[in-house]
């Protein structure tokens, strides 16, 4: 079932991340909430605190110094557990660190620092609403292959994407589920082992349109 609101989605995210980290404790995991205009700071803060309450030490990491400072000011109770990516790169030692890094919304311009931190960190990393896939413009073929290799290491723990006529959701370790939006709610119409592309989604939603008999009943 689709979540009824943001807090319900966050509860699903927590359960999915817990399962993902049990399955691959040192893994690289993605969480994607594809809502337009979503304010990520409260979502990230709640997820961090929920993971800590589950006994999983977590640091909240921001790509840039400004966002990091704002997060510290907004959350003085956990300010000592909030860092920028560069902060952690500078603090990294040769000792293993099994704490979860919850990294919020890294973009293509953050790629090199993000990759460096990921390679240095021995513990798990959860990336919330990252946008690193559009990183191949204007760089050489060697760099493109390197980035593709790095991005291929990341697995999706949770994905929720509203669509014009439905929604797409995946909760680790399950399949991708496509839902159609009807007047009385959402109905699941298809499942996939891999994330479906736009053409596959459009075709499935078109095939799932109610017939005239259903509309008249």
Residue pLDDT, tens place only, 135-158:
455 567 767 787 888 989 999 999
Structural domains of the chain in order of their starting residue, each with its CATH number: 6-165 (3.40.50.300), 175-217 (no CATH)
- Which residues have a Cβ under 8 Å from the Cβ of 81 and sit 6 or more positions away? 48, 58, 59, 60
Q: CA 95: distance to chain centroid?
A: 27
- Which residues have a Cβ under 8 Å from the Cβ of 208 and sit 6 or more positions away? 180, 187, 189, 190
Location of structure tokens 């939603």: 205
Residues of the chain with pLDDT under 70: 93-96, 134-139, 142, 210-217
Q: Enumerate long-range contacts of 204-211, CB under 8 Å, 24 or more apart.
A: 204/178, 205/163, 205/165, 205/166, 205/178, 205/180, 208/180, 209/180, 210/182
Residue-level pLDDT at 215: 46
pLDDT in tens, 5-28: 999 999 999 999 999 999 999 999
CA–CA gap between residue 30 and residue 36 (Å, rounded): 18
Residue-level pLDDT at 186: 93
Residue-level pLDDT at 213: 38
**SS3 state at 118:** helix
């Amino acid at each position: 079932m689709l979540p009824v609101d943001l807090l319900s989605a966050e509860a699903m995210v927590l359960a999915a991340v817990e399962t993902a980290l049990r399955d691959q404790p040192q893994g690289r995991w993605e969480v994607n909430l594809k809502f337009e205009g979503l304010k990520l700071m409260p979502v990230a803060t709640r997820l961090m605190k929920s993971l800590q309450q589950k006994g999983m030490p977590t640091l909240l990491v921001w790509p840039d110094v400004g966002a990091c400072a704002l997060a510290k000011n907004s959350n003085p109770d956990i300010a000592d557990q909030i860092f920028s990516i560069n902060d952690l790169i500078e603090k990294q030692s040769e000792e293993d660190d099994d704490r979860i890094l919850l990294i919020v919304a890294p973009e293509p311009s953050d790629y090199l620092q993000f990759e460096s931190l990921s390679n240095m960190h021995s513990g798990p990393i959860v990336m919330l609403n990252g946008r690193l896939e559009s990183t191949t413009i204007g760089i050489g073929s060697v760099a493109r292959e390197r980035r593709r290799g790095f991005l291929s290491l990341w697995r999706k723990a949770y994905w929720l994407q509203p669509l014009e006529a439905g929604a797409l959701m995946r909760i680790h370790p399950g399949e991708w589920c496509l839902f159609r939006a009807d007047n009385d709610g959402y109905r699941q119409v298809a499942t996939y082992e891999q994330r479906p592309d736009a053409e596959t989604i459009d075709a499935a939603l078109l095939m799932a349109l109610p017939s005239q008999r259903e509309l008249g009943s």
